Amino acid sequence: MEMNINASTQICGLIGNPVGHSVSPVIHNNLASIYGQNLVYVPLEVPEGRLEDAIKGADAFRILGMNVTVPYKSDVIPFLNSIDPLAEKIGAVNTLVREESGYRGYNTDMPGLYRAMISDGVEVAGKDVILLGAGGVARAVALLLLEKGAKHIYIMNRTLERADNIAEEINGYADREFATPMGLKDYPVLQNGSKYLAIQATNVGMFPKTEEAVIEDEDFYKMIEVGYDIIFNPMDTKFMKNTRMAGGKAYHGLKMLLYQGIIAYELWNNIQVRDEDADRIYELMKKALQKG
């Protein structure tokens, strides 16, 4: 469908710094075409120190909605009208939805991860999970795993103190011993014949350092039934390769990126994206990444 931009065209966009290499326009502009909506999505780079001005300007222009990427996912919160409880708990917002005046903040990253896992046939409920990393993303994943009924999580990190801090917070939410902090070298204590879902929530192995993995030991990967890497560039990380070589299934983070965008689009337009259309967009995203 050919786009006819006019005075009725709805504007959505991505705010961050930088935003030039984002594949988000592939998601939203193609969804607008598929569903026949007069909407255009553009990257909107916000210079340091101008975030509040950007939000006020977007409100003045009545921009329908925006995604938020680094470094503004937490910084944007003080400039919102309201915030969704999940985003407030995570402490990060990646989607702004227009209200009568101003914006409501949501976090669609974690619901996006969950929809990606469902799409790939990955079960969470009742599972013992190894979570690699103890940064902001790992903390958000831990909250998601608690919400979706995982049995127990083992938070492994180079710095044990950071893993300990997240575990203490998550256990407070759970009101039970749900999360156990561990150092990366402590994994042998889990070698009891059990198979784990492992989520790689660090940036280790991301382009251009594609030959790195948080844990290199072959014995670690023998414990993994399913390995999920939040990284999508490269599309076959060292973590994924190691998982497959040890006999497990491995997935990357591109579908998480897809579904966080789809959920944002659904919030902006009050529609439900069909599975077959999500599959079409996914193929277009892969092509866009392959082209660089």
Catalytic residue among 73, 127, 238, 241: 73
- Parallel, antiparallel or unpaired: strands 179-183 and 128-132: unpaired
How many C-beta atoms surround the C-beta of residue 189 within 10 A? 9
The residues pairing with 131 across neighbouring beta strands, listed in sequence order, are 155, 199
DSSP 185: G
CA dihedral 138→43→67→38, nearest 10 degrees, is -140
d(CA 263, CA 228): 20
d(CA 26, CA 33): 11
* Active site (annotated) includes residue 241: no
Which of 142, 120, 116, 117 is closest to 129 using CA atoms?
A: 142
- In Å, what is the CA distance from 22 to each residue of 34, 44, 108, 137, 176? 20, 11, 16, 19, 40
Positions marked catalytic? 73
